[in-house]
Amino acid sequence: MPIPKEISPGLPQTEIRERVKGRERFATVETHLPGVLLRTEPYMEVDILKKTIGKLYNLARAYAERKFRINELGDQQKEADSEIKGLAQNHEGLRGIQSEKDNFVLSVFPREIVTFDDQLLEKSLGIAYSSVVHRHLVISIAVPAGFQTEKGPVQEKLLHQVLTQALLDLGLRKVDLKKIMETRVQQRVDEETLEEMIKGGKVKLLEGTKKTDTTWAIRVEPLKKSPKN
């Protein structure tokens, strides 16, 4: 059966490539557009209207142009980010700039990140450790839908009903728990209470217990927001 003229003819696939790393196989097929090739599944003839190819080409070209531009702007933004932060760090008290004409305000400011050495903190606080440090055991459970157990497949509704019970009650084997569970301890230090205890002379932190790092951040927003319709 002849292919209608408005259908792009299934011309011989000019090239078949295989990307071993990504295991991606595709063929390139000539179109009615000069220098434009379709990518298809190998050895498959795709019936597609010429106008559809044209639409795909226009959309893809615009998409690629924006993507390349975004990548280029991203690189430029990284360079400017470093320079702006450097200017603020080298000029004490400088915290940004704003422009009414260009309708923007840029703020650059330091942020302190405090970390504690848990072992040194525990030695420093002694029996007061539990009143300052709050530890939470966080358990992530990933059970595939329909996971087979001794009591049958695990359903989402059933799983929600038994979250407060031990997983073994569901019929899961101990060997399976290691595969589907992730356990970690989340720690939060009550810095306000800790500072009060230090100022009151109740505790003294050992050297190296508390570490403070300063990072810089940039925030940009319109100086005047457009009125809502």
The confidence score (pLDDT) of residue 49 equals 93
Separation between Cα atoms, residue 134 and residue 132, nearest integer Å:
7
| CB burial readout 122-153, b (16+ within 10 A) else e | bebbeeeeeebbeeeeeeeeebeeebeeeeee
Handedness of CA 138, 139, 142, 145 (dihedral sign): negative
- In sequence order, the β-bridge partners of residue 182 are 140
**Residue in the structure block whose two tokens are 């157990």:** 149
The total of other beta-carbon atoms located within 10 Å of residue 194's CB is 23
Higher pLDDT, 73 or 189: 73
Please state the domain count of the chain.
Answer: 1
DSSP 119: H
| CA distance linking residue 152 with residue 119, whole number of Å | 45
Examine residue 95 and state whether it is found in any structural domain, yes or no.
no
Q: Considering Cα of 42, then 47, then 51, then 56, what sign does the dihedral take?
A: negative
pLDDT > 90? residue 44: no
In a domain, 172, yes or no: yes
**Can you give the pTM of this predicted structure?**
0.52
- Would you say residue 57 lies in a domain? no
Q: How many residues make up the chain in this entry?
A: 229
Residue 74 has pLDDT above 60, yes or no: yes
Residue 204 lies in a domain: yes
Q: Does 175 fall in a domain?
A: yes
Query: How far apart (Å, rounded) are the C-alpha atoms in residues 147 and 43?
Result: 38
Question: Looking at 28-37, 92-101, 170-179, which range is the least confident one?
Answer: 170-179
Q: Is the pLDDT assigned to residue 135 strictly greater than 90?
A: no
pLDDT tens-digit series, residues 75-95: 999 999 999 999 999 999 999
Closest CA to 201 of 116, 128, 112: 128
Q: Which structural domain, as residue segments, surrounds residue 129?
A: 118-208
Question: What would the pLDDT profile of 138-150 be if each residue is shown by its tens digit?
Answer: 666 666 666 777 7
Residue 174 falls within a domain, yes or no?
A: yes
203: Cα separation from own chain's centroid: 40
Question: Does residue 53 surpass a pLDDT of 90?
Answer: yes
Lookup result for tokens 């595969």: 179
Q: Which of 182, 176, 183 is nearest to 150 (CA)?
A: 176
Would you say residue 191 lies in a domain?
Answer: yes
Q: What is the dihedral of CA 208, 212, 213, 215, to 10 degrees?
A: 170
Please, which pLDDT band fits residue 106 given cuts at 50, 70 and 90? very high
Give the Cβ contact number of residue 224 at 10 Å: 9
Q: What is the rounded CA–CA span in Å between residue 89 and residue 60?
A: 43
Share of residues in the chain with pLDDT > 70 (%): 71
Strand-pair category, 210-221 with 104-116 = antiparallel
User: Which pLDDT does position 163 carry in this prediction?
Assistant: 53
Q: Which two tokens stand for residue 119?
A: 């072992």
Classify residue 41: in a domain, yes or no: no
